[in-house]
């Protein structure tokens, strides 16, 4: 399989470069910038990309790659800081400049394979405080902006390119075309990264393991897909356990059990642990303590289950690629098999090894795998849900009253968005509740009730998020239903804070 290697110099967009490349069926992998030359060579990439980053190449201690990488005679593309690294390494000069953030017009100066088909000028997304003052010998300027005379450079003979802007972000016009030009036309990488081939290889790898596998399923797409891949490989040596902690969405525990039993032939056990979780959370108001308690209870239940239903050799997790901190070493047959002795707080004596079938995938790729494996569309389209559940959507102590409010109000939000055709347009939508109260009027009487906060956001990967500008008529319907259908609620508010500075979940 052909691959493009992206060296990560600390840009917030590094993962996005990989995702964009994978979207046109070429495998891209993110590795640390200081990966040794020999290890990179073993990976046998078709081309290399240097990501952006917050550093300046002229500062002491600035991150720089192994110098031999520049001599690999492979196509090389530097983005932002990566562009400046190329300039610096080949004898050019980088200087501090006026900061340039946001859109600039990139004018294409000379014909080049990299900028082929993007037009005479495009809007490009800039995010830098340094610029190339002098370009190296044997390089030419292929694009400029009003404030950056060498915004794109090329050594066409060696297929080395540098661009000061970010083609991977949606704000850059024809940015994907630029990446395609580099990956497909310059690197000549084959488009052989498909989810069908991923499934085939992953199932083959997992089928070679020995022993039983324990997989905790939440009803979310990640753990469900992980379980289905493992089951496809080893059948009944997989046991799935679903823990009902009382902190789920309205009627979710019944829906999850029904989904598994109706659609998948896996060994599925549901554990009712509501009383345990809610008992431990009684009187606790600190958000971090709530998270810790939920995590500890999960560990306790998994440990008990492993003791009584084992022996197990493996614990499966739905870890995704952005969560994995890599050493930068290429992964062969052991792609999904990595030994750990203390997984997620589980006791050492269990001696469980970890199985991560999805550790090479991004969220959108998991959804594609899910569709191929026959996961119901309802689950495919479902919004993400936090691991600690409603414990982080209830501000203050978790009580039965606040749980009922959060569950019912969130259901109303989802129903109204679905009715208006907005549910699939947004990343997440829910209702949160705390201890704040406000006066309302019911009939002719004053009433003191809870305030419900509605949160609806748009995002790609949850790293950043923007609040959704819902039509007022939808908000009005949501508000009216919540105050009419939930006696304890008098006020409904809408959260208009983006991430950052806010987070998606309130706690």
Whether residue 115 contacts residue 178, with contact meaning beta carbons closer than 8 Å, is answered with yes
The pLDDT value recorded for residue 201 is 94
Q: Give the whole-number percent of the chain exceeding pLDDT 70.
A: 94
**The predicted structure's pLDDT at residue 395:** 97
Across 165-263, where does the E strand assignment appear? 213-216, 238-244
- pLDDT at residue 302 is higher than 90: no
Show binding-site residues for ATP.
218-224
Question: Phi then psi for 239, rounded to 5 degrees?
Answer: -120, 125
Query: What residues are labeled active site?
Result: 80, 166, 168
Is pLDDT above 80 for 270? yes
Split at pLDDT 50, 70, 90, the class of 345 is low
Full set of structural domains in the chain with CATH = 3-186 (3.40.50.880), 195-380 (3.40.50.620), 399-494 (3.30.300.10)
3-state helix, strand, coil in the chain (%, to 5): 35, 25, 40
Peptide bond into 500 cis (omega under 30): yes
Residue 314: the pLDDT is 93
pLDDT digits (tens, 9 = 90+) for 380-434: 889 989 889 999 999 999 999 999 999 999 999 999 999 999 999 999 999 999 9
pLDDT tens sequence across 431-484: 999 999 999 988 778 889 999 999 999 987 676 789 999 999 999 999 999 999
The Cα–Cα gap between 281 and 3 comes to 48
Spatial distance between the Cα atoms of 437 and 452, rounded to a whole number of angstroms: 9
Instruction: Give, in order, the Cα–Cα distances in Å from 228 to each of 199, 260, 336.
Output: 10, 10, 14
Q: What is the CA radius of gyration of the chain?
A: 26
Going by C-alpha positions, the residue among 324, 326, 323 that lies closest to residue 387 is 323
Output the pLDDT for position 346. 62
pTM: 0.79
54 pLDDT above the threshold of 50: yes
**pLDDT, tens digit (0-9, with 9 covering 90-100), for 362-373:** 888 999 999 999
Is it the case that residue 490 has pLDDT exceeding 90?
A: yes
Question: Rounded distance, CA 507 to CA 402, Å?
Answer: 15
213-216 and 353-355 as β-strands: parallel, antiparallel, unpaired?
Answer: unpaired
Alpha-carbon distances, residue 283 vs 135, 136, 286, 396, 399 (angstroms): 64, 65, 10, 9, 9
């Amino acid at each position: 399989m052909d691959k493009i290697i992206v060296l990560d110099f600390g840009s917030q967009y590094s993962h996005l470069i990989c995702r964009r490349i994978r979207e046109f069926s070429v495998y891209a992998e993110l590795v640390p910038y200081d990966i040794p030359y020999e290890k990179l060579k073993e990976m046998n990439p078709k081309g290399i990309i240097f990501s952006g980053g917050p550093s300046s190449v002229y500062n002491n201690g600035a991150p720089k790659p192994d110098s031999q990488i520049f001599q690999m005679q492979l196509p090389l593309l530097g983005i932002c800081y990566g562009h400046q690294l190329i300039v610096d390494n080949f004898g050019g000069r980088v200087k501090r400049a006026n900061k340039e953030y946001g859109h600039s017009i990139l004018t294409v100066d000379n014909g080049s394979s990299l900028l082929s088909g993007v037009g005479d000028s495009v809007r490009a997304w800039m995010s830098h405080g340094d610029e190339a003052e002098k370009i190296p010998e044997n390089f030419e300027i292929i694009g400029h902006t009003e404030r950056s005379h060498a915004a794109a450079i090329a050594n066409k003979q060696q297929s080395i390119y540098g661009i000061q802007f970010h083609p991977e972000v949606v704000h850059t016009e024809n940015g994907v075309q630029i990446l395609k030009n580099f990956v497909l036309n310059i690197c000549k990488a084959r488009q052989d990264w498909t989810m069908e081939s991923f499934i085939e290889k992953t199932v083959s790898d997992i089928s070679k393991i020995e022993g039983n596998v324990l997989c905790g399923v939440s009803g979310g797409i990640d753990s469900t897909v992980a379980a289905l891949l493992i089951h496809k490989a080893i059948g009944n040596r997989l046991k799935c356990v679903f823990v009902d902690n009382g902190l789920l969405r309205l009627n979710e525990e019944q829906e999850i059990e029904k989904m598994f039993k109706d659609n998948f032939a896996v060994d599925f056990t549901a554990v009712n642990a509501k009383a345990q979780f809610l008992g431990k959370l009684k009187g606790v108001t600190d958000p971090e303590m709530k998270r810790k308690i939920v995590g500890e209870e999960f560990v306790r239940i998994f440990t008990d289950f492993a003791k009584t239903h084992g022996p197990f050799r493996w614990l499966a997790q739905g870890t995704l690629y952005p969560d994995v901190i890599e050493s930068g070493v290429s992964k062969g047959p052991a792609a999904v098999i990595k030994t750990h002795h203390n997984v997620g707080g589980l006791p050492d004596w269990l001696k469980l090894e970890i199985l991560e079938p999805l550790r090479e995938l991004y969220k959108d790729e998991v959804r594609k795998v899910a569709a191929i494996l026959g996961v119901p569309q309802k689950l495919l389209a479902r919004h993400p849900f936090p691991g600690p559940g409603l414990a982080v959507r209830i501000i203050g102590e978790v009580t039965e009253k606040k749980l009922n409010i959060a569950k019912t109000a969130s259901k109303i939000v989802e129903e109204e968005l679905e009715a208006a055709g907005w549910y699939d347009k947004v990343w997440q939508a829910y209702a949160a509740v705390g201890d704040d109260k406000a006066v309302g009027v019911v009939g002719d009487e004053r009433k003191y009730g809870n305030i419900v906060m509605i949160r609806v956001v748009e995002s790609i990967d949850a790293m950043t998020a923007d609040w959704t500008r819902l039509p007022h008529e939808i908000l009005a319907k949501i508000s009216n239903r919540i105050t009419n259908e939930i006696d304890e609620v008098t006020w409904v508010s809408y959260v208009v804070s983006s991430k950052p500075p806010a987070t998606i979940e309130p706690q």
